[in-house]
């Protein structure tokens, strides 16, 4: 029940998400890793809200959830479109744009 532990957990989750974005090749998995990062942020906000005894952090977590949902919808639409035209969701196959 020590808020500091939750912050540490949030940092760990955030790093897992960030590393996942960098090493995974499937756009959908990258996207899920980004969502993991956002959820880690939410955990950090709630933990800090407990630490400071204010409810700002919890309110911010609400906003983050709504924004993340909007991001999911926009992102899924883009990824679906690209998957339907290429039959692949690998970011390595998306290589028309370079140099």
Partner 1 sequence: MTSLSGALAAATITPPHIEYGQLSPLLVVFGAAVAGVLVEAFVPRERRRAFHLVIALGGLVAAFALIISVAATPSLFAHGSPGHVVAMGAVGVDGPTLFIQGTIVVLAFVSVLLIAESSHGVSPFAAQAAAVPGSAEEREGLLRGISHTEVYPLTLFAVGGMMLFPAANDLLTMFVALEVLSLPLYLLCGLARRRRLISQEAAMKYFLLGAFSSAFFLFGVAMLYGYSGSVSLSAIAAAAATNVSSATLLYAGIALVGIGLLFKIGAVPFQSWKPDVYQGAPTAVTALMASCTVVSAFGGLLRVFYVAFGQLTWDWRPAMWGVAILTMLAGAIIAITQTDVKRMLAYSSIAHGGFVLTAVVAATAAGLSASLFYLAVYGLTTIGAFAVVTLVRDPAGEANHLSKWAGLGKRSPWLAGVFAFFLLAFAGIPLTSGFAGKFAVFQAAAAGGALPLVIIGVLASAVAAFFYVRVIVLMFFSDPAPDGPTVVTPGLFTGAAVAVGAAATLVFGIAPEPLLALASHAAAHLFVR
Partner 2 sequence: MLTLYVPILMLAALAALFAGFSLVMGALAGPKRWNRAKLQAYESGIEPTPQPSGGGRFPVKYYLTAMLFILFDIEIIFLYPWAVTFRSLGVFGLVEMVLFIVTVLVAYAYVWRRGGLEWD
Measure the CA–CA gap between 32 and 28, rounded to whole angstroms: 6
* Max CA distance (Å), the chain: 52
Tell which phi-psi region holds residue 38, choosing left (phi > 0), alpha (psi between -120 and 50) or beta.
alpha
Q: What's the residue count for the chain?
A: 99
By CB under 8 A, tell whether 2 contacts partner 1: no
Which of partner 2, partner 1, none does residue 92 bind to, with CB < 5 to 8 Å depending on kind? none
By CB under 8 A, tell whether 62 contacts partner 2: yes
CB 27 within 8 A of CB 12: no
Q: Which is nearer to partner 2, 23 or 78 (CB)?
A: 78
Which of partner 1, partner 2, none does residue 69 bind to, with CB < 5 to 8 Å depending on kind? partner 2
By CB under 8 A, tell whether 65 contacts partner 1: no
* Chosen residue from 67, 88, 90, 92 binding partner 1 by CB under 8 A: 67
Strand partners, 26: 90
> Which residues contact partner 2 (rule: CB under 8 A)?
1, 59, 62, 65-66, 69-70, 72-73, 76-77, 80, 84
């Amino acid at each position: 029940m020590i808020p500091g532990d939750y912050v540490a957990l949030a940092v760990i989750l955030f790093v897992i998400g960030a590393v996942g974005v960098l090493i995974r090749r499937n756009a959908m998995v990258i996207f899920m890793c980004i969502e993991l990062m956002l959820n880690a942020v939410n955990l950090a906000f709630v933990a800090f809200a407990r630490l400071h005894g204010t409810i700002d952090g919890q309110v911010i977590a609400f906003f983050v959830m709504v924004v993340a949902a909007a991001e999911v919808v926009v992102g899924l639409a883009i990824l679906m479109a690209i998957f339907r035209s290429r039959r692949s969701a690998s970011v390595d196959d998306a290589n028309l744009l370079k140099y």
